[in-house]
Amino acid sequence: MPLKNELVFDRLAALSSRNRYDALKKESADLERQIAQLQDAQDTLLRMQQRQFPFAVSQCHAFEDCKVAGCGKAWL
């Protein structure tokens, strides 16, 4: 007769669930670490671009019709 409205405790299922939970928890921690590394890399690239932009604009004025944002001239 099939079980209805009864909870059956299966030790193997409990161990399997625990192992899956632990694996997902580890994967979550790994993904959070990767996200933090990518955010750091993005911040570094942004800072580098912000530092180089004034130099690019100043170099831009040496050329006619530069297309660098806000310069109004274009590279030859």
pLDDT tens digits along 36-54: 999 999 999 999 888 887 7
58 vs 40: CA distance, rounded Å: 28
Could you tell me which residue, 72 or 12, shows the higher pLDDT? 12
Q: How confident is the model at residue 62 (pLDDT cuts 50, 70, 90)?
A: low
11 vs 52: CA distance, rounded Å: 62
Most confident of 18-22, 24-28, 70-74: 24-28
35 vs 54: CA distance, rounded Å: 30
69 vs 54: CA distance, rounded Å: 11
Amino acid, single-letter form, for residue 34: Q
